[in-house]
Structures are given as structure tokens and as C-alpha cells.
Amino acid sequence: MLVSRWFQLTALAASALVSSASNSSDPLAGIRDLVKRRISNHVNDFTFTLSTANDTGSDLDTFTISDASDSSGGIDIECSTASACARGLYTYATEVGNVDIWWTGSRLDALPSPLPRVGEPITRSAIVEYRYFLNTVTFGYTANWWTFEQWELLLDWAALRGVNLPLAWVGYEHTLAETFRDAGLTDEDMVPFFGGAAFLPWNRFGNIQGDWSPSTNGSQGGKLPQEWMDAQLALQKQIVPRIVELGMTPVLPAFPGFVPPAMHTLFPNASIVNGSEYPGIPAQYSNDSFLAPFDPLYAQLQSSFLAKQTEALGNVTHVWTIDQYNENSPYSGDLTYLANIANSTFASLRAHDPDAIWLMQGWLFFADEPFWTSDRVDAYLDQIPNDGMIILDLFSDVYPQWQRLDSYRGKSWVWCEVHDFGGNMGLEGNFSVVTNGPVDALNSPNSSMKGVGLAMEGLEGNEIIYDVLLDQAWSAAPLDRDAYAKAWATRRFHLPTANSSTTTATNTSIPASAIEAWQTLASTVYSSTNPNVWGATKSLIELAPSLGGMYSAPSSTIIFYDTNTSLVPALRGLVAAGTSAPALWALDEFRTDSIDVARQLLANRFADAYTATTGAYNASGPGSAALNATAARMMQIIDDLDRLLMTHEPYLLSSRIASARAWAGDGGDEAYADYLEYEARSQVTLWGPVPSVLNDYASKVWGGLVGTYYRQRWTAFVEYMNVTPSDKFEREELDGITDKIAEEWVLERWEGPWGPVGDLREEVERVLQVYG
């Protein structure tokens, strides 16, 4: 049990990916600090030790939990890495202490005193070396306006669940701008390049360029503010050290090759080409310029960028993310060209860091499969040694590519779950796939799978389907759905009882109906087998109205389960639990789950009302009693949904607007605050400078958004039907009306209310009574 063994163990597992410069004299200090943050009443009751006893000789993290050998009543956690210690603490808290930490907040401080006994020691090993977390676009769809306090909770959540390889993009633009300035570009040269504050992930991918925010109503549009870049780098300087302290390896960005258009003029002989147009985005804001990595200028810019980033953040990683062809096509399909791109890219990383590992999202091999034929994939990947690359098989849960590409020809790869597109909020999951899929892939012949990963585009609900994948990383056998849902809900609705020093903490005060509600959801909503449903669904309310074609790929509007035997009994069970144990309504987790099931019930009832309304229109024509009756029900559901959502702060549009505007500071620049509000509004509606196929891609079911924007569009739909015979219905004409609503709405300023309105419990119970 020698702490010095740590420095040998860092040659193993994910910790091998972190530069030794990041190791403190106490590599477990960050885990102890986590206990101080989240379990302060037991700060002296946990002993963490890096131990050779948990060195299995493999690259798999291992921990052992046991009762302290002395009479202190404490808990000993021995582990092979700091990440394993964090997972060991989590295993004790959840399996012995019956408490947990959630996106809604930490409940770990509910551990009783004295601490429950472990009894027989618990030893666990991860089944994979890497547990990856986040998608490049998560930094736009969910975390765009986050403060460090919000990041702190998420990082603790991730570390405790065993994540050891999180993505860390924040502040990238500041370093890139400095790199471009050193190369000779002016700030004005960069204006056409950097995207708006809410759209930077797609600028990083080379999909878009330029800031399309208007200079209207006094806002400072058309240019990414330097204030934003400065503040984001300051935030990154808090995020990255915390990642390292928690025993995780930050995946940091490297320079992919996308440059401002002015580079063509400044370096006329450089190999710079224009990329492909992004769907729905005008050429002015797309067709990004790409500097070929085999051009000597690329190596210079890469070296400058990585040196500046290391100076700002420290020498903390060997893993660098680069995605050059994410939803954009290579300039050429020539095999030699593709090989030179990859080889030169990797060489630029190794020139800075001899142990560099290139991490790449494998989405390109699915999204542009016709281009990425087997020979082209070979040309692109074969240039990189197998120990020099990690590929995220991003869509493993729906359309895995690892089989088609023969386990990526021996490259290390990670089985990933996307599930959520654009931060969509519909309830959905496939429990069987995320438990059986990783195990089957790991055990397949000649598998080079080395990890599992969460790569959702947004963190907007469906938490159980993400938790289970990270838990599966520590179980060689697929987890049992019913047992998992029962244990998960028991922790989620934990109501502490009398102190217990028995083997496990008691939690007998949770009504059985609450547990049964989650088991019902797990066996229906979270057991999807519909091949046309790729993840979190989208309600019809969120889409621009029409008589048909109400489908928004990749997020499905399909209701693949029977609402009356899934959502209705689940909501009835939650309400019954809240009646028999009113203290449940004080729990953020119970409130969130109740409103989630209630809002999904309303969304499904709206789909029925929409079908009835369009049917009445086609059968009876404009102005008919049947049309007006069904349309009135449709609009009533919208009003009831907004009323429900307005009771809970996490479901308010105003909360996001306030978070965006807060980056301008208290009493700060009003024009800057208006710019940030425009960005927040634009992302969840137009998603672009003009109405396009990307409209509503990032739609949300938020109070205030439903009651203004969505209601206005559906009102226009009903009004249009009432004056237009069904044989004269023109989709383009209606789109013109709803597009105008969108273009006006994004320019508005929220005047209030700024907080919750109404009583959540009353509204949930009312939804059950009226729609159950």
C-alpha cells in the first residue's frame, strides 16, 4: 500500500494519458476534496489508498471497499488509480449508503451517521480502459451558458461514475485567435470566421463560419465579442484543473486546419481549399477554408496553438481531439491525399507531444458512409499507429461502424451512445442495447474496443439511460433492467430514515408506487425497439405546423409505446407516492421526474389532438364546428403544457436567457447582453441566419417557449386552416407565415416573469386528472 506506487501505476490505464507534470504530491487530494464538497459531515470517515493490491497487471481500473480495520467506524477504499477511488466512493454511496448524485444536485450528504457497514469487502474492476464523456456539440446545446458551479456538479457526477476521459473544449477560440494573430491576421480578418457565441461547436467542426447575429435593437451583432473569448478561457482555467484533480484526463482540442478566409490572401501559396456547404446554411456562413495539414504552414500553426494552450492550461494531457470531416466532405477522395492529411495531422501532434494520441469522433463514417468506403477509411487511418489513436464509434447504440470497419483495423475505439440530438427532451431509451451492446462488442473476435462513452448532444433528461451505460462499464455481464430500475429509483427518491449501522442504509419510507412507476417506464419508454427511433424524441408541438410530414430527423416524433399503459400508470404512481409521502415533493429529483412524465403525457395527447384536427379539416373544411372543437383542444394542451412547465425553474426559457445575459455582467453592457439573448433564442428556433432545414433541430420543451413561440405558430396554423379550403392548402405559404414569426421572435427581449409561476404539484395532479 505504497502511495509511491502511484507513479508506476500511471503507466497503466487512462492515467497513462496524463502528463506526469500534472501529478501532485498527493494524487488523491482531489478525491478527498470531493468528499469535503459533497459529504462534508463524513470528511474524516473515508480513507483512500493507492495500492499494489489493486494492480491487476492489466489496464483496467480496480478498487476494493472495506470497513476500517480499527474501531473508527470509517470506510477504507483502496484503488489502482484516482479514478478508481472515485468510482469506489460512488459504489459505497449507492450500493451501501443508498444515496446518489444527479444532474439536479447531490444527495450524497444524506449518508447517515454512523456510516453503514460494508461487511464483506467489495472489489470491482472496470471492463474497459476508457470511460469517455461529452460530445463537441454538448458545449453548445447544454453547457453554452454554464458557470463553473454548474460544471463543478457535472464533473463530480462524472468522476464518481468512473469517467476518466472527458472532453474539454471551453475557451478554444481565445487560443486560436492568438494563434492567428501571431500568424499575421488582424482582428478584422477573423470576423468572417468565428461563429456566434451559441454556435461555436460547429465552427470548430468546420461546418459554419461567421456570426450571423444582427446589429439591431442596439445589440452588437455580426462579430464574436472578445469579452466572450476572454471569459471562456478564464472558465476553462477552472474546469481543466478540476478534471485533473478528480483523476480524469482532459481531452483537449488541437488545431484541425480550419482558417479564416483571409488566410488565402495572407498566404497565397498555401494549400488552402474551401470546404463543403453545410445543409441549410448560406455559403457566406459555410464553405469553411481548410488548410491542408501537409502544408508547412499547418505544422507552424499547430505548434503555436498547442504551445499557447499548454502555457494557459498546463501540461495535463496526451489526448488531443481533432475532427476534420465531421459532416463536411474531404476536398478529394484520392487515397494518397487522404493518407497525407492524416499522416501530417498526426505528425504535427507528435512534434509537440511525443506521446500524443489523436481522439476522433467516428461520426463521419456513418454520416457520410458512401464517401468513406473501406479503402478510403484504410488510407485515412492506416497512417496512424494503433497506439496513437482513439476512435469514438459515436453511434454504436443505433448504427455502429466498428463491425463494418473491422474494429477500426486494430485502433483503440470506444462504444458510444449519442441518443440525444440537439438537446431534445422526449422520453426514450433502449435499455437492452446499452447493456448488451458494449459487452457483445468487447467480447467479439479480434475486438480492439477499449472503452464506453456518453456522447449525447445535449444533457436534457433521460438520465437513467446514461447512468446505466457508465455502470455497465463496471460489469462483465449485462445489467438486469428491472433490478437496475428498482435500485435507481430507490436512490433517486431517498428519504432518510433513522440512522442505521447495519450492512446497508434503510430507505423504507419510499412508497412502492414510486418504484413501480420507474419500473413501468423502464419496461416501456426505456425499452424501445423501434428502428426508426434513434434516441430522445421530439413532440409535434415543437415543429413548424403543417398538414403532414411532421417528422424531424434524426429526432423522431414517433410514439412507440402505448401511452395509456406506460405514462399514465407511471404518473399515477408518482402522484400516489407524493400523496402518501408528501416529503417527496421537496426533492428536485421527484419534482423533475413528475414534470417529465406529465409533459410527455401532454405531448402525446397533443399528437392525438393534431390528428383529430387535421382529420376534421380534411373532412369538414375551414370554419367547421368539428375543426374548431378539435383545434381548441389542441391549443388547450399547449396552454396546459406551458402552465405546467412554468412551475419549475429548470424548465424555463427565462432561465436560459438569464444565464446567457449574465455573461455580460451585472449592470454591464446592455448591447452585449442583448447579443447573448439573441444567440440563446436563435439556437433553439431558427438555428441559422434564415429559416432552413435546421429549424427546430435544437427545440426545447420549456415554459415560456411553449407559451410564446410555439403557441404563436400553432395559432397561425389554425387560423390558416380556417380561411383556406383543404384543396388549396399550400405548405410553402404557411411556412412563410411561421418563418416570419420565427424571425420576429428571435429579436425580442424577454420581459418576464423571470422565475417559476404556480404550484408544480397542483399542475402535475391536474394533468393526471384531465389527461390521464
The rounded distance, in Å, linking the Cα atoms of 432 and 723 is 49
Q: Which residue in the block uniquely carries the three cell numbers 468546420?
A: 206
Q: Is residue 291 within 8 Å of residue 302, measured between CB atoms? A: no
Measured from the Cβ of residue 599, the count of other Cβ atoms closer than 10 Å reads 27
pLDDT surpasses 50 at 377: yes
- Looking at the chain, the number of H-run helices and the number of E-run strands are 26, 17
C-alpha torsion 396→435→131→455, nearest 10 = 40
DSSP string, 432-494: HHHHHHHHHHHTSTT--EEEEEE--S--SS-HHHHHHHHHHTT-SSPPPHHHHHHHHHHHHT-
For residue 407, the 8-state DSSP code is G
Phi, psi (degrees; rounded to nearest 5) at 456 = -65, 145
Candidates 678, 675, 710; CA nearest to 696 is: 710
Question: How does the average pLDDT of the chain come out, rounded?
Answer: 93
How much helix, strand and coil, in percent to the nearest 5, is found in the chain? Answer: 50, 10, 45
Calculate the alpha carbon distances from 305 to 22, 193, 251, 299 in Å: 20, 17, 15, 10
pLDDT tens-digit series, residues 152-171? 999 999 999 999 999 999 99
- What is the CA 300 to chain-centroid distance, rounded? 33
438 preceded by a cis bond (ω within 30 of 0): no
Taking the C-alpha atoms of residue 275 and residue 288, their distance in angstroms, rounded to an integer, is 5
What pLDDT is recorded for position 328? 93
Q: Give mean pLDDT, residues 743-755.
A: 95
Q: Cell for 207?
A: 461546418
pLDDT at residue 178 greater than cutoff 90: yes
Q: For 57-106, give the secondary structure using H, E and C.
A: CCCCCEEEEEECCCCCCCEEEEECCHHHHHHHHHHHHHHHCCCCEECCEE
Q: How far apart are the first and last CA of the chain?
A: 58
Range of lowest pLDDT (4-8, 164-168, 212-216, 732-736): 4-8
Cell triple for residue 588?
428536485
* SS3 category, 666: coil
Q: Residue 741 pLDDT more than 60?
A: yes
* Residues β-bridged to residue 392: 361, 414
| Residue 83 predicted with pLDDT over 80 | yes
Helix, strand or coil, per DSSP, at residue 319: strand
pLDDT of 218:
56
The answer to whether the pTM exceeds 0.85 is yes
Confidence class for position 21, pLDDT limits 50, 70, 90: very low
Cβ-based neighbour number of residue 629 at 10 Å? 13
State the virtual CA torsion across 230, 698, 320, 441 in degrees, nearest 10: 160
User: Would you give the DSSP letter of residue 586?
Assistant: G
pLDDT at 396: 98
* Alpha-carbon torsion (600, 603, 607, 608), positive or negative: positive
- Enter the C-alpha cell of residue 762: 397542483
Question: How far is CA 563 from each of CA 460, 521, 569, 583, rounded to the nearest angstrom?
Answer: 21, 11, 9, 28
pLDDT in tens, 617-657: 999 999 999 999 999 999 999 999 999 999 999 999 999 99
Q: Quick check: helix, strand or coil at residue 636? A: helix
Q: How confident is the model at residue 285 (pLDDT cuts 50, 70, 90)?
A: very high
Mean pLDDT of 288-300: 98
Q: What is the 3-state secondary structure (H, E, C) of 1-32?
A: CCHHHHHHHCCCCHHHHCCHHHCCCCCCHHHH
Q: What is the SS3 assignment for 698?
A: coil
Has residue 614 got a pLDDT over 50?
Answer: yes
**Residue of 117, 114, 101, 113 lying closest to 38 (CA atoms):** 101
At residue 7 the predicted structure's pLDDT band, cuts being 50, 70 and 90, is very low
CB 363 within 8 A of CB 326: yes
Nearest to 552 by CA among 748, 380, 421: 421
Which parts of 198-289 fold into alpha helices (H)?
200-204, 226-245, 263-266
Q: Tell how strand 130-133 and strand 449-454 pair up.
A: parallel
List Cα–Cα distances, 2 to 80, 97, 462, in angstroms.
11, 28, 41
**Percent of the chain beyond pLDDT 70?**
94
**pLDDT level of residue 53 (50, 70, 90 thresholds):** low
Cα separation, 15 vs 649, whole angstroms: 38
Domains and CATH numbers, the chain: 3-126 (3.30.379.10), 131-479 (3.20.20.80), 512-771 (1.20.120.670)
**Rg (alpha carbons) of the chain, rounded to whole number:** 26
**Region 229-246 average pLDDT:** 98
Q: What is the mean pLDDT of residues 710-738?
A: 97
Band (pLDDT 50/70/90 cuts) for residue 57 is low
Helix orientation angle between 296-313 and 226-245, rounded to the nearest 10 degrees: 70
Which of 22-36, 290-304, 468-482, 715-729 comes out lowest in average pLDDT? 22-36
C-alpha–C-alpha distance, residues 621 and 606, integer Å: 21
User: Cell numbers at residue 221, please?
Assistant: 451583432
Lowest mean pLDDT among 214-223, 226-235, 363-372: 214-223
Phi, psi values for residue 699, rounded to 5°:
-60, 155
Cell numbers linked to 703: 415554459
Looking at residue 72, its pLDDT comes to: 83
Q: Helix or strand or coil: residue 382?
A: coil
| Residue 419 CB partners (closer than 8 Å, separation 6+) | 397, 428, 429, 456, 462, 465, 466, 534, 535, 536
Amino acid 51: pLDDT: 85
Confidence class for position 498, pLDDT limits 50, 70, 90: very low
Predicted pLDDT at 275: 86
Question: In what helix (H) or strand (E) does residue 181 lie, and over which residues does it extend?
Answer: helix 172-183
Rounded CA-CA distance 108/361 in Å is: 34
Condensed to tens digits (0 to 9), the pLDDT of residues 204-223 reads 999 999 999 997 655 567 89
Whether residue 79 has pLDDT greater than 60: yes
- The per-residue pLDDT for 153 is 98
Arithmetic mean of pLDDT, 529-534: 93
Strands 75-79, 62-67: pairing kind: antiparallel
Q: Which range has the worst mean pLDDT, 46-55, 526-535, 573-582?
A: 46-55
Average pLDDT over residues 723-742: 96
How high is the pLDDT of residue 217? 54
Which of 112, 113, 118, 83 shows the shortest CA–CA distance to 99?
Answer: 112
Is pLDDT at 403 greater than 80 in this prediction? yes
Evaluate if residue 23 carries a pLDDT over 60: no
Pairing of strands 75-79, 449-454: unpaired
- Distance (Å, whole) CA 319 – CA 308: 16
* Residues β-bridged to residue 131: 452
**Mean pLDDT across 174-199:** 98
Q: Can you give the pLDDT at residue 276?
A: 83
Q: Does the structure show a pLDDT above 70 at 1?
A: no
- Cα dist from 712 to 544, 615, 741, whole Å: 10, 21, 7
